[in-house]
Homo-oligomer: A and B are copies of this chain.
């Protein structure tokens, strides 16, 4: 389904996700018979999406143009940029390009999904240009809360498109590799047709703090610790891990990695040389007993309070190997992502109740953001001074503020494009306009099912969650059209049956009366019988309880 008519020699930019939402980042850039795809991320279900494990983008447009797709070009290894790859590659197996660490993390993921052997992964370096035909795709190093992160510049016959990826400007990164501002500045000088830039922190004034400042806080806090130190952080934040490890090792502490993703990613990062910890400084969780508590630092998952992750398991005493001990000092080195505050709070409360000390963002500077604040964004806009601008990676409020920021820096409002997901921005050297919309959307992953849970199923789950359900079953004798058995009532999630025997009895009576009334009137269509019963029960229950359980009438014929 393509709803647009385009000039065949123009370049099209189509965000298939990541616009007006946090997560699910994926953008197609098309020129004639070539499409390159930047990122392929997953989104996370919001509280309305009952039972959904993961949200991935609808890639119908790519599947309809399968032959054009030259590859997936990945800016960095965060879930919201790579999480959909295993699902998408199963349907559209194009080459994947990314830096070494990014690919290492992707590889891990593809192995878990058992599709690694069929995939074509290609490692790239800073300033490397991949030639896919007419389009040339250049990777340019930036700084972010994960190592080896990149901007991507797409060189097209109509001009350069620069996508910042997720970034901040850290002048003192832990690995010493600062953002390649020189190259970006050079591109600006050559002339950039379109800038697409990270909008996450556009509402924050000033400049984000360097990751390095956290290290100073760790040093100060570690000096006062008498027992074990347990730090929860994002598994992908290698630089954070490095700083925790450095502060530990210099104080004679060994490192234990806890939690599946923490173990996986630290392994990948050490294997590839992104995380430098002497081998004898890492111990297994089972070997902790050979060390005294002030010789141990545990780096663990669960910084978002996730109930199944290691930190929450430790707090609520259901971790298989780690339980809280005297003088334990917990550090939650992360900010709660919006929506996770309550879960994080539950874990903090529980740790305090168990007598542990806990340090978190409200008390100390134990976290910095990985996304650019206003002054950093201004620098990029100023260096790049593009002809057109499209804010990306943000909810609409962020896109709006980012558009306003670009405007304040001198860009005309007509040159700023706040797109909807799926909208097609058509670009020529001196022209840009939204020329149509392609199919996009959310595909839900629930258990093993991809796409078999949709809005109707979710609507039912929501209704069931609110007021539960009530099933009324009755058997009808098909020759005489009389009730052979029932009505029987079964409820779940509605009321305590014990306390409501009266109510349930009344529902039975109502169902029987309604049914008999219909049958007496020679109404025998099942649909009508069911609807009549349902409506009569609904009305009665709403009057009595002001609730609307999902009422499921079942008629059996014998």
Contact = CB atoms under 8 A, between A and B. Distances in A.
A545 B449 contact: yes
Contacts of A468: 51, 457, 460-461, 464
Contacts of A1: none
Nearest to A345: B395
Contact of A464 (B465, B496, B556): B465
A345 B397 contact: yes
Nearest to A449: B545
B51 A496 contact: no
A467 interface: yes
Interface residues on A, range: 35 or more
Nearest to A446: B547
Interface string A397-419: 10011000000000000000000
Interface stretch (A61-69, A217-225, A487-495): A487-495
A554 B452 contact: no
A467 B203 CA distance: 38
A558 B485 contact: yes
Given A466-B51, A475-B475, A488-B556, A495 B452 contact: yes
Contacts of A556: 473, 475, 485-486, 488, 556
Interface stretch (A244-252, A285-293, A335-343): A335-343
A47 interface: yes
Contacts of A338: 341-342, 345
Interface in A115-140: none
Contacts of A176: none
Interface in A165-188: none
Interface string A518-558: 00000000000000000000000000111100101010111
Interface in A458-482: 458, 460-469, 471, 473, 475, 477
Interface in A10-69: 20, 46-47, 50-51
A453 B495 contact: yes
Interface in A344-362: 345, 348-350, 352-353, 358, 362
A486 B552 CA distance: 16
A18 to B, nearest CB: 14
Given A463-B492, A471-B552, A475-B556, 5 more contacts: A341-B341, A460-B468, A484-B558, A490-B554, A554-B554
13 contacts: A50-B465, A50-B466, A339-B341, A345-B397, A349-B395, A447-B545, A447-B546, A448-B546, A453-B496, A457-B493, A461-B467, A473-B554, A477-B558
* Leading 4 A-B pairs by shortest Cβ distance: A447-B546, A465-B465, A464-B464, A460-B493
Interface of A: 20, 46-47, 50-51, 203-204, 338-339, 341-342, 345, 348-350, 352-353, 358, 362-363, 395-397, 400-401, 446-449, 452-454, 456-458, 460-469, 471, 473, 475, 477, 484-486, 488, 490, 492-496, 499-500, 544-547, 550, 552, 554, 556-558
